[in-house]
C-alpha cells in the first residue's frame, strides 16, 4: 500500500520500526499509503472487506502500528505494550475519519467491554471505555457530513448513495460470514459484491476520482482450514465483486488491479479424465494405482489439519469431498494450513494497465497506482506530455479512479 517494504507484522512504517516495539514508532518513520495520497489530492477513498476492518490488509491502507494484531486496546494490554501507541480500531476512527466508505466486520474492536453489540448480545473488547462507533458518528456530525452507521442488511439497503457521503458498516462481531453461510434476510449482511457496488455509487460522486480497496479476506481463512470447496466458493463471490466494479466504472478512466499478497500450499494433482469434477476423486486415465490402494482428491494441501498421523490416510470412497465442510487431505499435520512462497498473479484493466506485466516486487504495485492517478510521488506527472506517432500531437494524462482488489488465494493456472 505504501510502496516500500517493511518488517513482518508492521503496518504503515518503514523498516526502522521493529515488530512488537511501540518505542520504535514515530511520525518520522511513517509511510503514506495510496489511500493517504488520494485523500491529500481531494479524492474519495473507501475500504471494503469480508474480514474485520481492523485486520491486516484493510489496516495496511490506513493504520500505523508495529504489530498488526493490535486491533483493539485489549490486545495491546495483553501484549504488555506501554507508550503512546494506539490500537488499529482507534486509529480508523480518530485519525482516518475522512475515509468515506469503510465496510466489513469487527464490531467487537469498536465497542467497550461494558456495551453489548446488537446482533449476538456479546460485550465489546475495548478496555478504555470508548464507544468508537458513537465517536465516529459524533465526528461526522461535528463536520456537518451526511453519514450513516449500519450493521445489517436493512440498514445497508436504506443507504442513499446520492445523499450519503460517509458510511461505516460493521456487519459482524468478528469476520463476516462465508458466502454460503451468509444470512440474506433484513437482519443479515450484504455480499462483497453488494458492498462494492454501494461503495462505488458513493465514491463516484467525487468528480476528482476515488480509490477503493476491496478484499476477499475469507478466501484465506477457508484455505487455512483446508476447506477447498469453501475457498473456491468465496473466490466466486470475489469474482462477482470484480464484475460489479467493471460494470459500474468507465474502463477509460478507472484502473482496476486484481492480485493476492500471498498464495497457499494448495495444489492440483493426478492425471484426471477430461470433465472430472475438480472437487472430486482422481479418475486416472493413465496412472499407477496409489500405493495404499485408496483414492485421493484432485485438490490437496501441503500441510494443514487434514492429516490423521495416528490412524493413517482416510479412505475417501464414501466421503462427500464436494461438501463445503470437507477438510481436504494434507501432507504435514498442522492445526492450520500455511501460506506458500511462489509468485502470485496480478491482473489489471484500464489506464496504464500495461505497467502490470512480468515479475515485479510487491511494493511496485503502489507506485503503479500512484503513477496512474498522478498522486503521491508522481503528483506532478499529470503535466507530462506524450507525443503520439500518428499525429505528433500531445495529450494530457489524467486518470481518475483506482480500485485495488485483494484476495488471499492461490490462482490455479493451467496452460
Angle at which helices 192-203 and 228-248 pack, to 10 degrees? 20
Copy the grid coordinates of residue 370.
500512484
Q: Which of 73, 69, 99 is nearest to 86 (CA)?
A: 73
C-alpha grid cell, residue 94: 480518530
SS3 at position 53: coil
Nearest CA-CA partner of 231 in 415, 10, 38, 411:
411
Per the CB < 8 A criterion, the answer to whether 350 and 251 are in contact is yes
Angle, alpha carbons 408-237-344 (nearest 5°)? 30
> Which residues does 379 contact at the CB level (< 8 Å), separation at least 6?
37, 41
- Any idea what the Cα angle at residue 147 is, between residues 58 and 239, rounded to 5°? 40
Residues tagged in the binding site annotation for Mg(2+): 55, 57, 215
Give the cell for residue 89.
480500531
Cross-strand partners of 340: 263
Record the cell numbers describing residue 129, joined without a space.
Answer: 471505555
Q: Which three cell numbers stand for residue 9?
A: 507484522
Residues annotated as binding site? 55, 57, 215, 220, 224, 261-262, 339
Annotated binding site for Zn(2+): 220, 224, 261-262, 339
Report residue 330: phi and psi, to 5°.
Answer: -135, 160
Alpha helices in 61-203 (DSSP H): 73-78, 88-94, 132-142, 153-158, 192-203
Query: What beta strand segments (E) does 316-369 contain?
Result: 330-333, 339-340, 346-349
Amino acid at each position: 500500500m505504501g510502496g516500500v517494504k517493511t518488517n513482518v507484522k508492521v503496518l504503515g512504517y518503514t523498516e526502522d520500526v521493529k515488530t512488537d516495539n511501540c518505542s520504535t514508532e514515530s511520525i518520522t518513520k511513517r509511510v503514506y499509503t495510496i489511500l493517504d495520497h488520494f485523500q491529500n489530492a481531494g479524492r474519495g477513498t473507501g475500504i471494503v472487506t469480508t474480514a474485520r476492518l481492523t485486520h491486516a490488509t484493510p489496516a495496511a491502507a490506513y493504520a500505523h502500528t508495529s504489530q498488526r494484531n493490535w486491533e483493539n486496546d485489549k490486545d495491546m494490554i495483553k501484549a504488555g505494550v506501554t507508550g503512546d501507541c494506539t490500537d488499529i480500531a482507534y486509529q480508523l476512527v480518530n485519525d482516518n475519519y475522512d475515509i468515506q466508505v469503510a465496510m466489513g466486520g469487527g464490531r467487537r474492536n469498536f465497542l467497550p467491554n461494558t456495551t453489548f453489540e446488537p446482533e449476538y448480545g456479546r460485550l465489546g473488547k475495548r478496555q478504555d471505555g470508548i464507544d468508537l462507533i458513537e465517536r465516529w458518528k459524533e465526528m461526522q456530525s461535528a463536520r456537518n457530513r451526511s453519514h450513516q452507521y449500519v450493521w445489517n442488511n436493512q440498514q445497508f439497503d436504506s443507504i442513499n448513495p446520492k445523499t450519503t457521503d460517509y458510511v461505516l458498516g460493521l456487519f459482524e462481531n468478528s469476520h463476516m460470514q462465508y458466502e454460503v453461510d451468509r444470512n440474506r434476510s433484513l437482519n443479515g449482511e450484504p455480499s462483497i459484491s453488494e458492498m462494492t457496488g454501494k461503495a462505488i455509487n458513493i465514491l463516484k460522486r467525487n468528480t476528482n476520482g476515488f480509490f477503493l480497496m476491496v478484499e476477499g479476506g475469507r478466501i484465506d481463512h477457508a484455505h487455512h482450514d483446508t476447506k477447498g470447496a469453501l475457498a473456491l466458493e468465496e473466490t466466486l463471490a470475489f469474482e462477482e465483486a470484480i464484475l460489479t466494479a467493471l460494470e459500474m466504472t468507465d474502463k477509460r478512466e478507472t484502473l482496476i488491479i486484481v492480485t493476492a499478497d500471498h498464495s497457499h500450499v494448495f495444489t492440483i494433482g493426478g492425471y484426471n479424465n477430461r470433465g472430472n469434477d475438480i472437487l472430486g476423486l482422481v479418475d486416472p486415465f493413465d496412472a499407477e494405482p496409489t500405493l495404499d490402494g485408496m483414492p485421493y482428491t484432485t485438490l490437496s494441501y501441503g500441510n494443514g489439519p487434514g492429516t490423521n498421523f495416528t490412524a493413517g490416510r482416510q479412505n475417501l470412497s464414501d466421503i462427500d469431498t464436494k461438501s463445503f465442510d470437507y477438510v481436504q487431505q494434507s501432507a504435514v499435520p498442522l492445526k492450520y494450513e500455511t501460506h506458500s512462497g511462489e509468485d502470485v498473479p496480478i491482473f489489471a484493466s484500464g489506464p496504464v494497465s500495461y505497467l502490470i506485466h512480468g515479475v515485479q516486487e510487491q511494493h511496485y504495485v503502489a507506485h503503479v497506482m500512484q503513477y496512474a492517478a498522478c498522486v503521491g510521488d508522481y503528483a506532478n506527472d499529470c503535466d507530462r506530455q506524450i507525443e503520439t506517432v500518428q499525429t505528433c500531437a500531445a495529450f494530457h494524462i489524467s486518470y481518475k479512479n483506482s480500485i485495488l482488489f485483494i484476495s488471499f488465494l492461490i490462482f490455479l493456472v493451467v496452460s
